[in-house]
Amino acid sequence: MKHFRWFLEVASDSEINMHALDEVLHSSKSEYQKVEIFRLGKFGKALILDGKMQSAEVDEFIYHECLVHPVLLSHGSPKKVLIAGGGEGATIREVLRWPTVEKVYMVDLDEEVVNACKRLMPEWHRGAFEDGRVKVIYDDARRFIRTSKERFDAIILDLPEPMEEGPAILLYTEEFYREVGEHLEEGGVMVTQATTVSVVNFRAFSIISNTIREVFKIVRPYWTSVPSFYQPWGFVFASQQKDPKALQLEEIEEKLSGLKGQLRFYNSEIHYALFALPEYLKEALQKEKAINRDDSPLSFY
């Protein structure tokens, strides 16, 4: 055994992922959570909150491109974008590729996380926090949205998992999605990260998807594989008017070619592929009856 320091990510009672812990770049306890930045074997730097991997240097681009571009492509010409969460700054980075974007608000609860990311994870944000279009607000995303007078072309929910005593437990409920819907402009679009979607663990994904269906007319659950998460990862797109599956190939390619910089994962083929759901999952989504509400919010772990 070459390495003797390890990070053990507990995926469940019966699955643990061990990563060689090459370096502890940051370790602190913020007001809200345990905040750590590790250097981990092949995955490079990684942000760990309360022992859960948030994103890793080598493949954060997969997660962030798949979170941002489907929703902005569906809108077509987003001007005002709101990001809830997104402390690493990589979600802002992807949003700023869009030349139509004029204003990006990022609302993150934990200033300590954002500051650690700014200082130690420049590979993620690449200066995005300094862009004049960006405004960072340290607040609870739910409170911010509820009390905001503004409306947005796109709202991107880049949140931690809904854990019992975690800060995001009320950011996956029907009531919250209604508040999100009320703060979208005409033709507005939203997306949320939607946890693991593995063959042994798709319940949270299907409940989130079903809950969003209570609020929005067009709901498109989708998924891809982020190697450092080990299990396939889910997202849910929603809108009252726009449908990412209805986009024409030419339209996608034209929009993507207008983006600033080079995408590393996303392209027009990938766009369609993301929305292809396997049979077992289509069935599970159809059968799902549970709706996640504020009065007894589901905690998925």
Using CB under 8 A as the binding rule, whether residue 267 contacts a copy of itself is answered as yes
Options 26, 33, 35, 40; binder of a copy of itself; rule CB under 8 A: 40
- The region of 68-76, 111-119, 176-184, 228-236 touching a copy of itself under the rule CB under 8 A is 228-236
> Residue 200, interface with a copy of itself (CB under 8 A)?
yes
Query: Would you state the structure tokens that stand for residue 108, as one six-digit string?
Result: 């993150």
Give the one residue of 120, 163, 170, 270 binding a copy of itself; rule: CB under 8 A.
Answer: 270
For residue 232, state whether it binds a copy of itself (rule: CB under 8 A). Answer: yes
Residue 165 found at the interface with a copy of itself (CB under 8 A): no
Choose one: 54-62, 67-75, 79-87, 129-137; the region binding a copy of itself (CB under 8 A): 54-62
240 binds a copy of itself (CB under 8 A): no
Does position 16 bind a copy of itself by CB under 8 A? yes
Residue 222 — φ and ψ, nearest 5°?
Answer: -150, 170
First to last CA, the chain: 32
CB 18 within 8 A of CB 96: no
Smallest distance from the beta carbon of 92 to a copy of itself, in angstroms? Answer: 21
CB 26 within 8 A of CB 39: no
Of 59, 108, 153, 158, which residue is the catalytic one?
A: 158
Phi, psi of 28 (to 5 degrees): -150, 170
Q: Report, in Å, the least distance between residue 237 CB and a copy of itself.
A: 16
Instruction: Clarify whether 108 is annotated catalytic.
Output: no
Q: CA 118 to CA 177: how far, in whole Å? A: 29
Q: Is the dihedral of CA 83, 299, 226, 51 positive or negative?
A: positive
Least distance between a copy of itself and beta carbon 232 (Å): 5
Report 276-295 residues binding a copy of itself (CB under 8 A).
Answer: 276-280, 282
Phi, psi of 127 (to 5 degrees): 80, 0
| Helix, coil or strand: residue 189 | strand
State the burial class of residue 140 (Cβ atoms within 10 Å of its Cβ: 0-12, 13-18, 19+).
middle
CB of 257 to a copy of itself, least distance (A): 13
For the annotated catalytic residues, the residue numbers are 158
